[in-house]
Structure 1
Amino acid sequence: MILKKYEINFIKEEYTSGIDNVITFSDLDNDGIDEKIIIHDNDFGDASFDLIKSGEEFVDQFNFEGKFPTKFKYIWFKDLNGNGYQEVVLLTQINDSLFINIKEPLLKNGLNRNKIFVDRISSYKSQYEIHANGIWSFDRYQDSLNNLYFSINAGFAGNPRSIYKYDFNKNKITKSPHLTNTSSISELTNLDDDDELEVIVSNYAAQNTLDTLFTKKSDYSSWLIILDDDLNYMFDQIEYKVKSGPIGKSVISDDGTKHVAVLQKTYGDNSFPSQLLKLSHKGEILLTKQLIKSNYGNLINNDNKIYLTDVLNQKCLQFNSNLELIEEYQLDRFYNLKIANVGASKSKEFITIYNNNEVTIYDLNFNHKTQFNLNFKNDKSDPNYEITKDKKGELIIYFQKGSI
């Protein structure tokens, strides 16, 4: 029996001014209360965002040269220079070129860096299509200066498909080799005790025929990749002739050595069953655990415990760092399980959204759950959600689909 631990109360429903507008939240001035940021295209079609303080006080509209590369409107927040105010970093496109732009909107004469060149992108049938994701590095030197790591992937055009690092101190972009697959950043971690961060890459084979000018490898295979701190390969890429690519998370073994747990999954191919691997930073496969044929989702590491979702059987499997099965949890219907802090304590919770409407929150032991329905109508898209808090410190979850 799973008990109810969390209480969820509906607050309100509101509409954005445009169907492609994105609402997000961040505490830009470090006062403990999140600001609302509405990201949109301005009247000229260029990238823009509106900044709203708590209490719905409109601050200003900020405009940038160039458009958002896609309707997803990629934007990140971080206090880059350590002065207590977060900057807004966003990705823009002008013709075939991509740029990052940095704005400190709540500080008079704040940091302002525009049109930092990232890369050129190829077109397919005269159209540009890219996807991106970003993650901030840890402040490993405790000097308050941070780097932004992000991936950019083109679709049918096939270029770029790389991971990038923006060094704030040097105002410099570093680019990885072309990664062949559609790739993203699974984790940043120091694997080899050199005080530098390595990049664990997750990817999948989109099965596009790529121009050999970009890569000599095949996108019909998936490639296991870890990048060193200079974004070059730590070891030769490991090939798997399946579409679904590897998902990796760092784990600490019993002797204190850091390794990488990797889920290599496949669909409908009996000749290559899904498996868990334990990998050294040199690319040595230390352990292999074959998994039963199923539809596996994502891999989560929390406190050195590895959680693997089995979507077909509606289970979450928990393993230790030696890939030994510790616990098996039978869940209600779900598709993609994520981990976030949605409760009042510092402990994290699991959150999942089923059929784009049914939300379930579990504690880490799956002993307590709360379910509620978003009741979005006539919209089959996946909802985005943000976790923020009000003036009283109560946590609020905002869900967005389309213009609602």
Structure 2
Amino acid sequence: MFERHLKAQLQQELAHSPAVALLGPRQVGKTTLALAVAQGHSSVYLDLESERDRARLAEPELLLPSLFDKLVILDEVHRAPALFPVLRGLIDQARRAGHRQGLYLLLGSASLDLLAQSGETLAGRIAYLELAPLTLLETGAAHQDSLWLRGGFPDSFTASSEARSLRWRQNFIRTYLERDIPQFGPRIAAETLRRFWTMLAHHQGGLLNVAQLARNLGVDAKTAHHYIDLLCDLLLVRRLQPWHTNLGKRLVKSPKVYVRDSGLVHALLDIANLHTLLAHPVVGASWEGWVLENLLACAPPDTQASFYRSSGGAEIDILLTLPGGSLTAIEVKRSLSPKVERGFHAACDDVKPQQRWVIYPGTESFPMAHDIEALPLASACARLQALNAQP
């Protein structure tokens, strides 16, 4: 059992909002976290993938009003989109009866149906949180290489061996392709989508070129766009948008694309152990994507991530815009002796960030020239997480 740092924020939202949606891919630990939070409440748990629980909710207007004094946890709620209009009326009814917060905790494995429905019918009544895979602060810095290799899904990270971990991730991918993804749209051939997902893993951290991906896959660009959108909506792929402002420079406008969990990157590329990973061409991009996901999981809510790249070679790997507008420019290096290249200095001259970090795989922080700090990933995550505690 890991202590998830999102737990405190989830408790806060339940104390102030009538409904909270906790989103995240399957097997990331949403149910475990929800039940841990529910220990402090009188609660009822309903799994909408269970025939029995769906039968109990056949007439929600009869069941749910009797539970206004309890926290009702609805798992895999995207399986019952017709429930959202009902919840709106029940929340308003509960408010009139004096129950104004902590009524419903909605768990969803995808953002597309859940956000579309709840955004339309529960506006002003619901808060959203996203549970990421395990972060370095949650597992401990001593497990850095293992967490990077295996990824942050708890069952993968805690597997008894590297082989069992890889097998778990391969089964996870197969289940998504054959069982879960068909729930969310027109039938897509599992093998076609696996090839597409694998292409993205090979292209980890690269500029998104949908036309090229479509040609390589033998489909049209519209279909490739649909595949990208679907994997992003399932919280499995991230499009990192370029940072834009009126600097009078020619800037790259295409987003970068990442498979969000490093363990899935390695499973898609059949990388079984750390030795193989360190010799693989994807090693640097995999490390960069893993750093990005850890930073965003620990950063304050509403932190925006982007990258900066100009046609003249100025580049910032990750640019975090924190609440309040301050900028942190981050260079990611997979080296114990990190060196900052000219492009980073040129980009910082353009962007003028308040902080400049180099994140590297070592264990000590130290200053570098030009007001740059070299930080271990755990230290950078701890700094960002500390901002959450500030009023």
TM-score higher than 0.5: no
Please give the TM-score of this superposition, normalised by the length of structure 1: 0.31
More helix by share: 2
Please give the TM-score of this superposition, normalised by the length of structure 2: 0.32
More strand by share: 1
